[in-house]
Chains A and B, each alone.
Chain A
């Protein structure tokens, strides 16, 4: 029995220490971003990787998410005879919730895992040590550009997600199921407020930080060898996704 309690205690202490190290990592990364500005070309390269190259998968998932929202929304709303509200339902769920969350999850899977693998491999092959011996700050080259790029790219990807999703809802609701197009967009214009867009963007920005933070951290402190890197990568995707969903709940309850 005491054995179990001991193990539990050790586990808890290790997790808390880990959390402290993670917070330190983030604070130091922010400090380096401010104190030692990154060259624009490094940021642009990362925006291209995290943002531009994710846009295809974002468009694809957004299209189908919008279409399924059109179907489900229509099915529910006809029960109350208010299928004219379909545009509002689709737009609000996308802008407030699904756009930021799903785009962040897609980016985690696509770019986040690659970030962890890249930094992890640099760690195990002593490339990070090599940077240090040149008196260069590894965070400036490995973490800052990714943090800034992800902060910029996520809201933009989210905006694309919202637009394409609304268009997907239109395709199914209006073109396929015959909702009045005037009602679809008219009601949307009347009901979606600046506040909704704004809260979605806030979410997106914070998800951008979570992705870069968790994925860089996991790579930076990877385990040994190919297996260590692969474990770090899996861990990064899981932790980043879970944190996104948990943070989403808290930030929603504050922003509502």
Chain B
């Protein structure tokens, strides 16, 4: 197990370095920040001073090495716009995105799992067919449009829920969270639902497929032949088996949810990383863009690692092979 972990960590290191190069080159190719940051009527001397201050006069490889060297010390550059460390900007916005993403995950499991279970146990029922049709909608409706509709309905027409911002926050571990206050919860509800729509559909379909497949297994029939109650057969024998794919896929989805909450955050003016990156792209704030992408890469790596570990906990067959 330890050996496996070390190997995985080394792989992750290589991925990080490779990604940093890609990200750096990719971002460098996009536009010239000088055009945006420096006022058009500045004279030549002023421009050159600014360019030097930002390190933009060095050759590209040199800029990358400087970037890499600093990155290793946890310094991903200073924002051209805010003149603050980029990493700090991102970390400030991260809790908002994280709680939104986890809220969406929570909702998708809370709704998707029971619906998927029902649809799997009664595949021919009318309700099951409705659920499955609904899940297709969840997959195919564009996120921003659903977001707007949610705002129209619940914020504008009915006036039940707020549609912008994080609302009141409370401190926990020195970080501000919305989900700890009633007002904050009201604020997070709409964007979290919006973000969870796709994932609800995903969980429904995964669960249903898993249930249908598992119900046909000999061990389920044997469990029934042992005289277990249908409740125990479903919630122990079937459920434990379908949790393996559901947890794995949802875990991998988490990274995507965090990274691509951009749309939802923009629609609901949710002050998270997604909104920051959109703003930064608009003004070509390179250090922030690079730092954001690096954070996302890092996050994917960590999440994949965690998912693998959880997977081995859920499936005893993998556990043994891991040790060998």
Answer yes or no: are A and B bound together in one complex: no
- Interface residues of chain A, those whose CB is within 8 Å of chain B, are none
- Interface residues of chain B, those whose CB is within 8 Å of chain A, are none
